[in-house]
Structure 1
Amino acid sequence: MSETRDRTTSHRKPGNVARSATAVALALAVVAGGAYLAELGPFAADASAAEPDPAAVAEARAFLADWAGGRMPSAGGRTTDPGKAQEVLRNFTAGLSIDKPNLAAAKATVSENGTVSVPFTAKMPVTDLGTWTYDSKLPLRKQQDGTWKVHWTPAVVHPKLSSTEKFRLEREDTERPEITDRGGAALSGGKHPSLAPVLNQIAGAAGAGPRGAIQLVDRATGEVKGTEATFGKKPDRPTDQPIRTTLDSTWQSAAEKALTSEAKGKDAALVALRIDNGEILAVGNSPSSGFNRAVSGTYAPGSTWKVVTTSALTLKNAVKPNDIVDCPKYLTVGKQFHNVETGEHRNATFLQDFTESCNTAFISLRDKLGDRELGDVARKYFGIGQEWHIGIPSFDGSVPAPRDQTEKAASMIGQGRVLANPLLMASVAATAASGTFHQPTITGGSKDTTTTSKLPQDVVTQLRAMMRATVTDGTAKVLDGLPGGVGAKTGTAEVTEEDPDSNNGWIVATRGNVAVACVVEKGKTGGASAGPVVRSLLSAVPDDPS
Structure 2
Amino acid sequence: MTHRPRRATTTLALASVLTVSVASGCSLFESDPDPSDPAKALAAGLAKGDLAGVPLSGSTPAGASTFVTDAYEGMGGLKPAVTMTSVTRDEGADTAKATLRATWDVAKTGQDWTYDTTASMTLVDGAWQVAWSPSLVAPQLQADETLRLSRTWPKRADIVDALGQPIVTEREVTVVGIDKTRVSGAQAAASAKALAGILDIDPDAFAKKVATAGAKAFVPGLTLRRTDPALTRNVARIDAVDGALRQPELRQLGPTRTWAAPVLGTVAEATAEQVKDSKGVLAAGDDVGQNGLQYRYDGQLRGTPGLAVQAVTTGADGSVVDRREVFAEASKDGTPLELSLDQKAQTAAEAALAEQTERPTALVAVRVSTGEVLAAAVGPGANGSTLALAGKNPPGSTFKIISSLALVRQGATAQTPLSCTPTLTVNGRRFGNYTGYPTAKLGQIPLQTALAYSCNTAFISQYRKVSQDQLISAAQSLGVGEKLDLPFTGFLGSVPPTDDVVEHAASFIGQGRVEASPLTMALVVASVMKGETVRPTLVESAPALPAPATPLTPAEAAVLKQEMRAVVTEGSGKVLAQVGVQYAKTGTAEFGTTNPPRTHAWMVAGTGDIAVAAYNEEGESGTTDAAPFIIDFLKRYEG
TM-score normalised by length of structure 2: 0.51
State the alpha-carbon separation in 1 of the partners of residues 554 and 574 from structure 2: 26
1:528 deviates by 0.8
1:420 deviates by 0.5
State the alpha-carbon separation in 2 of the partners of residues 293 and 489 from structure 1: 20
State the alpha-carbon separation in 1 of the partners of residues 497 and 618 from structure 2: 27
1:301 aligns with 2:365: no
Secondary structure of 2:603's counterpart equals strand
State the alpha-carbon separation in 1 of the partners of residues 494 and 163 from structure 2: 34
In structure 1, what is the equivalent of residue 408 of structure 2? 314
The answer to whether the 8 Å contact 1:506/1:525 transfers is yes
In structure 2, what is the equivalent of residue 286 of structure 1? 379
Secondary structure of 2:388's counterpart equals helix
State the alpha-carbon separation in 1 of the partners of residues 485 and 162 from structure 2: 18
Alignment of 1:502-541 (within 5 A): 502-541=598-637
In structure 2, what is the equivalent of residue 257 of structure 1? 351
1:519 deviates by 0.7
State the alpha-carbon separation in 2 of the partners of residues 402 and 300 from structure 1: 16
State the alpha-carbon separation in 1 of the partners of residues 401 and 155 from structure 2: 44
Change (3 A) 1:174 1:364: farther
1:185 deviates by 2.8
In structure 1, what is the equivalent of residue 158 of structure 2? 178
The answer to whether the 8 Å contact 1:301/1:418 transfers is yes
Structure 2 segments unaligned to the other structure (5+ residues) = 1-151, 168-252, 277-289, 304-332
1:374 deviates by 0.4
In structure 1, what is the equivalent of residue 273 of structure 2? 213
1:302 deviates by 0.4
The answer to whether the 8 Å contact 1:173/1:210 transfers is no
Task: Pick which of 447-456 and 500-509 moved more.
Answer: 447-456
The answer to whether the 8 Å contact 2:361/2:617 transfers is yes
> Deviation per CA, 1:398-431, whole angstroms, max 9, x where unpaired?
1111231100110000000111100111011111
The answer to whether the 8 Å contact 1:256/1:284 transfers is yes
Alignment of 1:192-231 (within 5 A): 193-200=258-265, 213=273
1:192 deviates by 6.1
Which residue identity does 1:481 align to in structure 2? Q
The answer to whether the 8 Å contact 1:192/1:252 transfers is no
In structure 2, what is the equivalent of residue 269 of structure 1? 362
Change (3 A) 1:215 1:200: closer
State the alpha-carbon separation in 2 of the partners of residues 285 and 314 from structure 1: 34
State the alpha-carbon separation in 1 of the partners of residues 541 and 423 from structure 2: 49
State the alpha-carbon separation in 1 of the partners of residues 486 and 274 from structure 2: 29
Change (3 A) 1:246 1:449: closer
Which structure carries more relative contact order (alpha carbon 8 Å, separation 6+)?
A: 1
Which residue identity does 1:368 align to in structure 2? K
State the alpha-carbon separation in 2 of the partners of residues 500 and 176 from structure 1: 52
In structure 2, what is the equivalent of residue 460 of structure 1? 557
1:362 deviates by 0.4
State the alpha-carbon separation in 1 of the partners of residues 415 and 460 from structure 2: 18
Q: How many residues align?
A: 351
Change (3 A) 1:215 1:199: closer
The answer to whether the 8 Å contact 2:576/2:627 transfers is yes
1:362 aligns with 2:362: no
The answer to whether the 8 Å contact 1:382/1:437 transfers is yes
1:449 deviates by 4.3
Secondary structure of 1:519's counterpart equals strand
In structure 2, what is the equivalent of residue 471 of structure 1? 568
TM-score normalised by length of structure 1: 0.60
Secondary structure of 2:602's counterpart equals strand
Q: Which has the higher strand share?
A: 2
1:181 deviates by 2.0
CA RMSD of aligned residues (A): 2.9
Which structure has the larger Rg over C-alpha atoms?
2
Q: Which of residues 342, 345, 362 in structure 2 aligns to 1:248? A: 342
Alignment of 1:445-456 (within 5 A): 445-452=541-548, 453-456=550-553
State the alpha-carbon separation in 1 of the partners of residues 597 and 555 from structure 2: 38
State the alpha-carbon separation in 2 of the partners of residues 510 and 210 from structure 1: 43
Structure 1 segments unaligned to the other structure (5+ residues) = 1-171, 217-229
1:213 deviates by 1.5
- Percent of residue pairs bearing the same amino acid type: 33
Alignment of 1:29-108 (within 5 A): none
Which residue identity does 2:572 align to in structure 1? T
The answer to whether the 8 Å contact 2:532/2:557 transfers is no
Which residue identity does 1:374 align to in structure 2? L
